[in-house]
Structure 1
């Protein structure tokens, strides 16, 4: 079985495990060997699942402002964890293929393997939740049919993305494509780069 399909199976397992407790405060129970690639893929989807549900919560029109701020802080923290895990996965691919001899006309891809896997992880969550919508009994048949149609599109997208990721990895391994690891360099969480944060530090010193 090829890497992307195996990754999707791990994402599915993480998604199902998360929804046993179905709580953004649930403790992660990662079944894979610590620091293995499977371990990090499971972690990745678990973080995505938490962020998915935090994004649902914060869209409640009746949410209390103070609670909304707490959720926004958690979303920021979760997004940073997500980025860190993607960069960690890209380091894995970088080390795996660092000695590949490039062909003369090798090209770079628009996204790295790990960022493509990030899309696959999110897609796994979309498919899970859309399937839940197709099974609801408290909605109209029109709602169910619309969700079933969306499910067909999502499943097609899943197949295409799995093929595309594995083709990218094959191209990198064969030297037809090369990868670079760019750190995201997020600025809003960095007290040295976010002017609101370092502005506060300056004001404290005045």
Structure 2
């Protein structure tokens, strides 16, 4: 099933990142873009999410240097754009995969595209990894560990449900019971022509 593959790759990415555990480490995608495009995209997607997860931790340091914080904010903005781009690449993959499928007359559209559901699955993998760390953190009190274990149990259940829903969605698209329609995100804050602050800075 698709979600089994995705969850396995996401776990590999997160574990690989934490071998060095620094946001500036070199990225290497083990999946060839031409031979294993889907795996390549999933790996890259989760790597972006993993780095950004740690960006978000760092920028919440109350003692962070303001200059460093501004630089990090720019990195987070760029990461957000990369994340959106990767979602659109994934949706393009599925659009191509199912392009020959003729939707049934009563076919319906889903509230989100497959790739945006996969985006949530990638973030969920990060939540599970880090909540598991907290649930087993030996320097924390027992109450903390119990609370985090309860949260981890919910996250694991959520992953089962989301994985099932993604598999069902892809199956419905393949059978023509649902159809894909992708809207590009059209982010405005990074666009020199659409963000009035950036537009003014160009003058």
* Alignment partner, residue 24 of structure 2: 25
* Alignment partner, residue 156 of structure 1: 157
Any residues of structure 2 matched to 1:1-206 within 5 Å, and which?
2-35=1-34, 36-202=37-203
**In structure 2, what is the Cα distance between the partners aligned to 1:157 and 1:140?**
26
Off by >4 Å, runs of 4+ in structure 1: none
Q: Secondary structure at the match of 1:156?
A: helix
**In structure 2, what is the Cα distance between the partners aligned to 1:81 and 1:168?**
25
Deviation at 1:29, TM superposition (A): 2.1
TM-score (norm 2): 0.97
Deviation at 1:160, TM superposition (A): 0.3
Deviation at 1:77, TM superposition (A): 0.4
TM-score (norm 1): 0.96
Deviation at 1:85, TM superposition (A): 0.4
**In structure 1, what is the Cα distance between the partners aligned to 2:11 and 2:27?**
15
Q: Which runs of 5+ in 2 are unaligned?
A: none
**In structure 2, what is the Cα distance between the partners aligned to 1:29 and 1:84?**
18
Deviates more, 1:131-140 or 1:27-36: 27-36
- Count of equivalent residues: 201
